[in-house]
């Protein structure tokens, strides 16, 4: 079965550079979530999109922006990178109309490990 | 506000011991979902179980079992006869109410389980 695809798997950037992370959700899933997991931390919600519109926003720095495109893939753009942005970035997708059903859930990608040097 | 607490930061057991990972949650929503994920050293988030608020049945899957108690807002996870391959960080997570926009997952701090041979 198709899974959530994240690219790249690993990324090394220097301080003040820009990075773009991509997420391809499960086909027919209409909601995408982005999470940031720092070393030794739990995943923290950044932002989500439903049907290509931003649906919720967490502790996402102003230097970060994201969008969901017409084919439902999403990109997280990170500018002026700082050392503290080094983390594992997860994307997850879900089908909103399944909320309330017994089998509602999320499918996570394998993550993008960003290292800022 | 929703919150998930995993009071045990680290647990160390010897192979074949039983171990229980605790999870306590807070929510004002009447409909919600609870999840457990395993994160091995490779970093991906592996889905283990989902439970919704209207189904308090406990579940057993092989060596894994889960105890969901709405009265105490707990969703504990037990591994029977632990094995070295169970060594990982385990996250408990809560999904916001169905009636609300968003649907993001809120994670606990994680419990690092180390199973020694």
The CA distance from B17 to B13, in Å, is 6
Of B33, B43, B104, the CB nearest to A104: B33
Cβ–Cβ contact A48 with B under 8 A: yes
The CA distance from A90 to A95, in Å, is 17
| Largest CA-CA distance found in chain A, in angstroms, rounded | 45
Residue B102: its pLDDT value, please? 63
Residue A70: its pLDDT value, please? 94
CB contact under 8 A, B102 and A104: no
- Chosen for mutation from B103, B110, B111, B112 (greatest number of chain A CBs closer than 10 Å) is B103
The CA distance from A9 to A111, in Å, is 6
Residue B26: its pLDDT value, please? 95
Helices (H) and strands (E) in chain B, counts: 0, 12
Residue A2: its pLDDT value, please? 75
Cβ–Cβ contact A57 with B under 8 A: no
Residue B101: its pLDDT value, please? 59
Nearest CA in chain B to A53: B102
- Name the minimum distance, in Å, from the CA of B102 to any CA of chain A: 5
Residues of B in contact with A3 (CB under 8 A): none
Nearest to B77 by CA among B28, B13, B18: B18
Cβ–Cβ contact A51 with B under 8 A: no
Nearest CA in chain B to A36: B107
Nearest to B69 by CA among B87, B46, B51: B51
Within chain A, which residues score under 70 in pLDDT? 1
Within chain B, which residues score under 50 in pLDDT? none
Residue A20: its pLDDT value, please? 98
Residue B97: its pLDDT value, please? 62
Contact by Cβ (8 Å): A71, A30: no
- CB neighbourhood size of A97 (10 A): 10
């Amino acid at each position: 079965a198709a899974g959530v695809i994240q690219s790249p798997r690993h990324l090394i950037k220097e301080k003040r550079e820009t990075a773009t992370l991509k997420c391809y959700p499960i086909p027919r899933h209409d909601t995408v979530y982005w999470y940031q997991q720092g070393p030794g931390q739990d995943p923290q919600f950044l932002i989500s999109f439903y049907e290509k519109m931003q649906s919720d926003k967490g502790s996402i720095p102003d230097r970060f922006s994201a969008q969901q495109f017409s084919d439902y893939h999403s990109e997280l753009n990170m500018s002026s990178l700082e050392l503290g942005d080094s983390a594992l970035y997860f994307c997850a997708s879900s089908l909103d109309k399944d909320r309330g059903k017994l089998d509602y859930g999320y499918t996570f990608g394998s993550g993008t490990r960003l290292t800022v040097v | 506000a929703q919150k998930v607490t995993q009071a045990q930061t680290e647990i160390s057991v010897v192979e074949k011991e039983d171990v229980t990972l605790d999870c306590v949650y807070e929510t004002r929503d009447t409909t919600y979902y609870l999840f457990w994920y395993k994160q091995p050293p490779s970093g991906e988030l592996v889905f283990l179980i989902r439970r919704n608020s209207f189904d308090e049945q406990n579940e057993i899957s092989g060596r894994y079992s889960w105890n969901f108690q709405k009265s105490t807002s707990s969703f504990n996870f037990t591994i029977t006869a632990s094995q070295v391959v169970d060594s990982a960080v385990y996250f408990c997570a809560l999904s916001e109410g169905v009636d609300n926009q968003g649907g993001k997952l809120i994670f606990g701090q994680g419990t690092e389980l180390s199973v020694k041979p």
